[in-house]
A and B are shown apart, each in its own frame.
Chain A
Amino acid sequence: AQSVTQLDSQVPVFEEAPVELRCNYSSSVSVYLFWYVQYPNQGLQLLLKYLSGSTLVKGINGFEAEFNKSQTSFHLRKPSVHISDTAEYFCAVTTFSGTYKYIFGTGTRLKVLA
Chain B
Amino acid sequence: GQQLNQSPQSMFIQEGEDVSMNCTSSSIFNTWLWYKQDPGEGPVLLIALYKAGELTSNGRLTAQFGITRKDSFLNISASIPSDVGIYFCAGQLADGGSQGNLIFGKGTKLSVKP
A and B associate: no
A binding-site residues for B, Cβ under 8 Å: none
B binding-site residues for A, Cβ under 8 Å: none
